[in-house]
Structures are given as structure tokens and as C-alpha cells.
Amino acid sequence: MGNKDLVLLVLIAVCVFEGCYCKTVTYDHRALVIDGKRRVLQSGSIHYPRSMPEVWPEIIRKSKEGGLDVIETYVFWNNHEPVRGEYYFEGRFDLVRFVKTVQEAGLLVHLRIGPYACAEWNYGGFPVWLHFIPGIQFRTTNDLFKNEMKRFLAKIVSLMKDADLFASQGGPIILAQVENEYGNVEWAYGVGGELYVKWAAETAVSLNTSVPWVMCQQEDAPDPIINTCNGFYCDRFTPNSPSKPKMWTENYSGWFLAFGNAIPYRPVEDLAFSVARFFETGGTFQNYYMYFGGTNFERTAGGPLVATSYDYDAPIDEYGFIRQPKWGHLRDLHKAIKQCEEFLISSDPTYLQLGKNLEAHIYYRTSNKCAAFLANFDSSLDANVTFNGNSYFLPAWSVSILPDCKNVIFNTAKVVSQRNLHGVSFSGTTSVNEFSLASSAWSWYKEEVGVSSNHSFIKPGLLEQINTTKDNSDYLWYTTSINVKESIAPGQEKEAFLHIGSLGHAALVFVNKRLVGFGFGNHEDASFNLSEKISLNQGDNTLDILSMMVGLQNYGPWFDIAGAGIYSVILADLKKSSKDDLSSGVWTYQVGVEGEYIGLDKISLANSSLWIQGNRLPINRSLIWYKATFLAPEGKGPLSLDLASMGKGQAWVNGQSIGRYWPAYLAPSTGCTTNCDYRGAYDASKCLRNCGQPAQTLYHIPRTWVHSGENLLVLHEELGGDPSKISLLTRTGQEVCAHVSEADPPPADSWQPNLEFMSQSSQVRLTCEQGWHISMINFASFGTPRGHCGTFNPGNCHANVLSVVQQACIGQEGCAIPVSTARLGDPCPGVLKSLAIEALCSY
Ligand code: GAL
């Protein structure tokens, strides 16, 4: 017996003895190999701090039902080590609890330890204190950085080991990631970058996790690290060694949202197409980024200007509700791919050209048993193809899946899944309860403009913001005085121009404590210039600039040293055409605003006499704090705060920050499409909605942050808004619908190769959120119903099947009705019929 065998024996003995289900995870050129078996895996990203631990089980259950095998998450260093050496793993940052929750659901975990995350997370997940270690350089071969990175990697690995969470210990973690997309920026780090990649790989391997490591977007990932693909499509990707499997770590289910931008969405037909193409062409592991996006609570949003909602158009929406038909169509796809698993792991695909932009890939188990994927990747032309002697219709930009090389059980462009009316959780539906917070409910506090003597300090010149605030606050006051020496007649003022240059992200400008301007950048470029005509008095005038950060940058080469704040202030005299550069003058600074020092967001100050109450609620005022109490609406579901009437600021519920808001920033008025054509290559700007509207008006309040009785709501309004128009929403129902034809394939999970395919019928399947039930059928017709979800009408051929549907569905959480004449009767023999149903799910 060699050493290796001995180790194996000991391992088995330990496992058996301890009663654990230890797994070995390795890989070969086809797939990850778990306990000796190649696996085809569907994975989805769920970042634990973007939702509450109380809802993790529910979100993970929905992920499992959606057909996922693996949950992927980054680890967020900055929140786990807010102060060097002081760790935090509580609440929604309880990483061990999250991994265990996934394990309890029977799913696996891909842990992307990084520690660089990117992820639209503040500073990409790096703690800001790291930046202040003298001599440090991030993400390159710098010993100071490497020591800190190694220490954190080791910390997380040992945390996982101590809780027995790696697969070899019986835990769910089958994969780990070091760094993140470094290959995209490596060029900017020169030789230091190449050395850093090697070091990161060696360091990861040295931590003995016993699971494979990946580096995404890293062509030069050294063995044994697997280099993986990220992107909207990865079918053309090949790993850097024939011994590594083809893996896709980020398949974007939509895209993230930034303040001032329209809302991106990705049609499910295209997403399903990209997935099917990937498995068709040899892929065996695919991860949706994001499967559930959630919310950027507090100041965790990255930047610049990443919005608070991280909904991402994901299959599970920001509030944890299932998004249809995205979730359902992908579930059907996963089931179809599962039906092919034994073929996929048995061989490499055999390629067959079927015509222009038409191809098949066939996986053989034996010479006469196979599964096939037929693809039409033409962006506009539908096609009929012949494969294996049979003919198939392939819509443009679609893939058909044939688990027996004969019957199509799924086509990516054919959505039979249920749809939800009113796509987004809380908008425009009749089933939302609204509670408005009347003017009388509000108190306010008008905060000081400028610095207060207690917290200020003086420096010559203009300071860079992040180096000054250390991100302890979004705000930095820049204050100076402008002395007008010339004499000005009483009652007159001198006019001048103020030119301000800022690296970002936004700034309010006050002259003599009066607001004269507001400047701001955008996600693509946060820098801006402001030019304002101002009036000055004889003698001293005050100039106060409140520079505001909206999330620290999280992406790009050397992103960690990208600056922010005011870099130039010039006063131009209109009459004398002279310029006075105030930039190098003496400035007084204050990190943070007055209300933050007082702690107005805190529950302890809710009854303070600082808060003013009265009949005349000030509206449209800058730098004002508002406070109200509200009774939480009944139910268990999440709540949403409609802040459409507000400008820009931050909000807290019972002392917990629900994030930044900025509804006053409207998206450009052009570039949106109501019906985005899914055919043809997708990119993040292809399908946009809400042009000319705020990126985000609704803000998520987790149910666990409210209680019965009075709850405290505090807003810090920077620009000006009207709090009397704020309302609180809760969801009490959901209208769902589906339209399925007799000719559609039966559900992929009911497919059995030995059953005669055509004897299995297609189905309409309706499902409500857990705990909800179908309370009403608004429409049901079998025949040739017309229209779309929400506007169905009976067609020429119509069987009223209302009572059949009611009987099967009312009072149920879900129901399935075969689309067959056997069940529904035959209103028009010889005509191809379909079944359309619209129903209401109620809480
Ligand atoms: C990728 C990155 C992710 C996320 C994504 C955009 O480049 O790896 O962390 O930032 O872009 O949502």
C-alpha cells in the first residue's frame, strides 16, 4: 500500500467513524469530479449581506426549486474586518450560518474568498484601512498587501475548516476562488501583476482547502488553478489547459443599476440561450450572477453611484419574490439539461454543421445512445433543420434540447412558464397595500450649513476626500471665506462666477449659507464641473461646499487610489475679468455633517427635543432631517418605502440604514425599449427601461427590521423633497398567468425516455409564493384564446374551462393542468388549441 492509499484509507476511516459525508472534489477536462463522478452543475450567486439571515432559507429553497445545485458568494472583507484585527461575523455577515443554511438545503457552495470581490460593493470589498498602510500597493507584488491578503484568506479558510464546511470535511464547499477578474486589469500592473498572479495561486493552494481553486477571467492562471469565464456568453471559451473543465463563473442574469441610469434587463430567452449554448459546447458548470441580487443596505454599495437596489433583474427579485417567467423558464431549462447529464459527462461533444448559423452538438453514451443540442445562432432568421432523419423548427437565436437525440423537451425561445403580471414586486399592482405618512406625522431638524468648531480642522489647499474622511462618512465640508475688498454701495452685491472642479461624486455649494449650486457625476464618470453666478457682499463672505461620496469605486486598474472630492475652486470677477484661484488658499474641513455627529438616525434620539414638530412641515429644503413613526402593515412579507417625492439622501428604519436614495436623478430620456428583441448579442445597454425616470424610487425595508407598534423612520435629505408624499407598501397578492399550447413539450421533469413522447401532454402550471394560495381565476379558455397575459380574450374556438381550473387550483399554492382534450374537452376538433389562464395569488 502506497502513501496515497494510506491517506485515502485514513480519510475513509475518519469519515465513517465520525459519520460525516465527506466528499472528494477534483476535476478533469470535462467537469468537476465529486466523489469520483463528473458533475453538471447549475450555480447561482447570492451574496449573504444583501438580505437578512431570516430570509436566507426561503431564498435558498427557491433557488433549489429553480434547479440550482450550487450557491456562490463572495466574502466581504471590509465588513468582516472593519478595524484591522477586529473581526465581525454577526447578523447578515454571519458567513458560517449562511454556508450552513445552504448545506441544510442540500446545496453546494462556491466560496469566492477573493479577498477582492468587485461586486458593486464598497471599495470592491477591501477595507479602507488597508489603503492607509504606508507603502502598500493593492493587487500587485507588494509585501505589505500580500501579507494582509494572505492573513485574510487564511482567516476565512480556517473559519470554514473549524466549522467543517469544506467538502472533504462533509461540508458543502466544493470550490473556492482567489482574486477576481485580475486578468482584465493585469496589463496595468506590469511584471508585478504577473508575479502577483503566481503568488496568489501558490498562496491559495498552500491553504489546503482540499477543493479546487478557480481564478475567473485569468488566462494565465497557473496549474492547478482553473481559469474560468465571465461574460454574457461563454460558449467560445476554452480553459488554458486541456486538463481543466470549461466553467462559467459569471453569467449576468441582468445588470446592476446606478443612480441616474435607466434600468437594465435581460430577456430570459437570451439568458437561456446563452446557458444552453454553453452546455452544448462542452461546459459543465455555470453560475448566474446574480440569481438573487438583494439590497445594498447602509453604505455598502460600491461606486461610483451604484444604486441601493441590487435587484439585477435576477430570477429572484430584490425582495425575495420569484420573478416570472425568468425563474420558471430557467427551471425548465435546468431540468432539460439534467435529463442530459449522463450523456454530457460521458463524452466530449461531436460537432455537426446543419446550415448557415445552424449547428448541432451531440453527446454519446454509447454509439447509438445520445443527447443533442440543436442551435440556430442567427439573430433574425428562423430555420427548419434536419437532424437524425427528423425535421425540426428552430427559431432564430435559440437552442433545442433533445435528451434522446429525437424529442425536443425544451427550446430556449419558447417560454411556457407562468408569467407574473406587473413585473416588479411593488410597482403598479392592485395587490399592494399603501400606507401614507401624512404631514402631521413628521418632525424635522434643520442642520447647520458648514463646519462646527468642535469637529473642524484647517489645512492649506484642497484635500482629496477619501484620504480625509477615511470613508467614515459620505460627507466632507470644504469651507473658506471670500473677502471682497472693494467698496460696494449699501444694498448692492458684487456679482462673480464660481468655477468648481470635482473628482466626484456630488456637491452642494453654499455662499453665505445660501444654496447656490448642486453638481454631480454619473456611474461612468463621477467627476464634474460646476459654474455658478454668485453674489457677494463687501467684506467677508462664506463659501461652504459639501462634497458627497456615493459609494467607493470597486472596479478597474488601481481603482483603490482613484480620488474624490473638490480639486479646484476659482472665482472669476465679472467686471475686471480677473481670476482668483482659491484652490491653494486656506480651507477649513469637517468630516461628516452635523446630524451625524448628533446621531439623529439613532433610536435613542427619537424623542429628543431637537426634533421640531408643527403644522408647517418644511419641504424642498436642503440639509434637513425628517423623522416619523409608522405602524408596520400586517403580514410577514417585506416592505417597501416609496421615496419618489424625495431628492437625495440616506434613510434609516429603527436605527438601521436602508441605504442611500436619489430619486431626483433622472435617467437619460432616450435609449429604452419596451419590447427588447432578445435575438442577437446582448450587452448591458441593449435592453433598458424607465428612461427619463429615477433609477430607484422604492427602497427595501426588511420585515425583520420592523416590529409591532411604532417604528421609527429617519431621513437625511440633502437636496430637498416632500416627505408628506412618502408611502409604505406591502404586497398582498400577485396576478399570474400562463398560455400553453398542445404542441408545446411536456414539462422536462416528466420526461421519461421509455414513455412514448407524444402521449405526454404539455401543462399549464401555476405557482404562488410559499404561504400564498390561488384565490381567484380571472380567465380560463381552452381553444384559440387571443391576447397576452393581462389582456386575454376568448378566440373563435373556446371551451369555458373555468370550473375545471377553479376546481384544480382554488385554495392551492399551485396547480398543474394538462393541455389535453382528454381533460378539457374538444371545442374544435382538428384545430391546434391552447390553454390560457389568469389567476390571483393572495396572501
Ligand atoms: C464583474 C465582477 C463582478 C461584478 C460584475 C458586474 O466584472 O467580477 O463582481 O462587479 O462585473 O455586476
Is 452 in contact with 594 (CB distance < 8 Å)?
yes
Flag whether pLDDT at 14 surpasses 50.
Answer: no
| Pocket residues: Cβ below 6 A from ligand 1 | 118-120, 180-181, 230, 250, 256
Q: pLDDT grade, residue 431 (50/70/90)?
A: low
Q: pLDDT grade, residue 754 (50/70/90)?
A: low
Is residue 298 packed enough to be buried (19+ CB in 10 Å), middle (13-18) or exposed (0-12)?
Answer: middle
Separation CA 39–CA 574 (nearest Å): 73
Separation CA 192–CA 197 (nearest Å): 9
Q: What size, in residues, is the chain?
A: 843
What percent of the chain clears pLDDT 90, i.e. is strictly above it?
87
| Rounded distance from Cα 89 to ligand 1 centre (Å) | 24
Q: What pairing do the DSSP bridges indicate for beta strands 263-264 and 688-689?
A: antiparallel
Which of the two residues, 627 and 789, has the higher pLDDT score? Answer: 627
| Rounded distance from Cα 342 to ligand 1 centre (Å) | 32
| Dihedral angle over CA of 390, 395, 397, 403, nearest 10 | -40
Q: pLDDT grade, residue 746 (50/70/90)?
A: confident
Q: Which residues are annotated as catalytic?
A: 181, 250
- Mean per-residue pLDDT, 429-457: 81
The pLDDT value given to residue 191: 97
Q: From the alpha carbon of 119, which atom of ligand 1 is closest?
A: 9
Closest CA to 505 of 466, 555, 460: 466
Separation CA 725–CA 626 (nearest Å): 13
Q: From the alpha carbon of 118, which atom of ligand 1 is closest?
A: 9
Residue nearest to atom 11 of ligand 1 (CA): 119
- Mean per-residue pLDDT, 166-184: 98
| Rounded distance from Cα 737 to ligand 1 centre (Å) | 34
Q: pLDDT grade, residue 429 (50/70/90)?
A: very low
Q: From the alpha carbon of 255, which atom of ligand 1 is closest?
A: 12
Is 92 in contact with 55 (CB distance < 8 Å)?
no
Is 302 in contact with 121 (CB distance < 8 Å)?
yes
pLDDT 10s digits, 129-156: 999 999 999 999 999 999 999 999 999 9
Weakest-pLDDT range from 2-6, 486-490, 520-524, 697-701: 2-6
pLDDT 10s digits, 69-116: 999 999 999 999 999 999 999 999 999 999 999 999 999 999 999 999
| Rounded distance from Cα 289 to ligand 1 centre (Å) | 8
- Mean per-residue pLDDT, 652-674: 97
Residue from 289, 296, 685 whose mutation best tests the ligand 1 pocket (most atoms within 8 A of CB): 289
- Averaged pLDDT of the chain: 94
The pLDDT value given to residue 432: 59
Residue from 77, 116, 120, 216 whose mutation best tests the ligand 1 pocket (most atoms within 8 A of CB): 120
Weakest-pLDDT range from 42-51, 210-219, 459-468, 758-767: 758-767
**Could you give all domains of the chain from N- to C-terminal order, each with its CATH number?**
25-339 (3.20.20.80), 349-414 (no CATH), 432-446+598-731 (2.60.120.260), 457-592 (2.60.120.260), 733-842 (2.60.120.740)
Q: From the alpha carbon of 290, which atom of ligand 1 is closest?
A: 12
Q: What pairing do the DSSP bridges indicate for beta strands 108-114 and 173-178?
A: parallel
Closest CA to 249 of 223, 227, 271, 222: 227
Residue nearest to atom 9 of ligand 1 (CA): 119
Q: From the alpha carbon of 181, which atom of ligand 1 is closest?
A: 8
The pLDDT value given to residue 759: 62
Flag whether pLDDT at 7 surpasses 60.
Answer: no
Closest CA to 398 of 434, 425, 358, 431: 358
Residue from 50, 73, 76, 118 whose mutation best tests the ligand 1 pocket (most atoms within 8 A of CB): 118
Closest CA to 103 of 69, 78, 55: 69
Residue nearest to atom 4 of ligand 1 (CA): 119
Flag whether pLDDT at 326 surpasses 70.
Answer: yes
**In sequence order, what are the residues at sequence separation of 6 or more whose Cβ sits closer than 8 angstroms to the Cβ of residue 715?**
625, 626, 627, 643, 646, 649, 650, 651, 652, 723
- Mean per-residue pLDDT, 781-790: 94
Residue nearest to atom 6 of ligand 1 (CA): 119
Residue 813 three-state SS: coil
Residue nearest to atom 3 of ligand 1 (CA): 119
- Mean per-residue pLDDT, 221-234: 98
| Rounded distance from Cα 75 to ligand 1 centre (Å) | 14
Q: From the alpha carbon of 302, which atom of ligand 1 is closest?
A: 10
**In sequence order, what are the residues at sequence separation of 6 or more whose Cβ sits closer than 8 angstroms to the Cβ of residue 682?**
232, 266, 267, 270, 274
| Rounded distance from Cα 120 to ligand 1 centre (Å) | 7
Residue from 122, 186, 214, 250 whose mutation best tests the ligand 1 pocket (most atoms within 8 A of CB): 250
Flag whether pLDDT at 4 surpasses 70.
Answer: no
Q: From the alpha carbon of 180, which atom of ligand 1 is closest?
A: 8
Residue from 261, 290, 555 whose mutation best tests the ligand 1 pocket (most atoms within 8 A of CB): 555
| Rounded distance from Cα 121 to ligand 1 centre (Å) | 10
| Rounded distance from Cα 177 to ligand 1 centre (Å) | 14
Place of cell 508575479: 195
Separation CA 424–CA 785 (nearest Å): 26
Separation CA 246–CA 234 (nearest Å): 9
Q: pLDDT grade, residue 16 (50/70/90)?
A: very low
Q: Report the interhelical angle of 326-338 vs 268-280 (nearest 10°).
A: 20
Separation CA 574–CA 684 (nearest Å): 45
The pLDDT value given to residue 12: 47
Q: pLDDT grade, residue 632 (50/70/90)?
A: confident
Is 8 in contact with 14 (CB distance < 8 Å)?
no
- Mean per-residue pLDDT, 148-167: 98
Weakest-pLDDT range from 346-355, 393-402, 424-433, 659-668: 424-433
Q: From the alpha carbon of 256, which atom of ligand 1 is closest?
A: 12
- Mean per-residue pLDDT, 36-62: 98
Residue nearest to atom 5 of ligand 1 (CA): 119
pLDDT 10s digits, 729-739: 888 888 999 99
| Rounded distance from Cα 204 to ligand 1 centre (Å) | 21
Whether a cis peptide bond, with omega within 30° of 0, leads into 224 is: yes
Flag whether pLDDT at 280 surpasses 60.
Answer: yes
| Rounded distance from Cα 258 to ligand 1 centre (Å) | 14
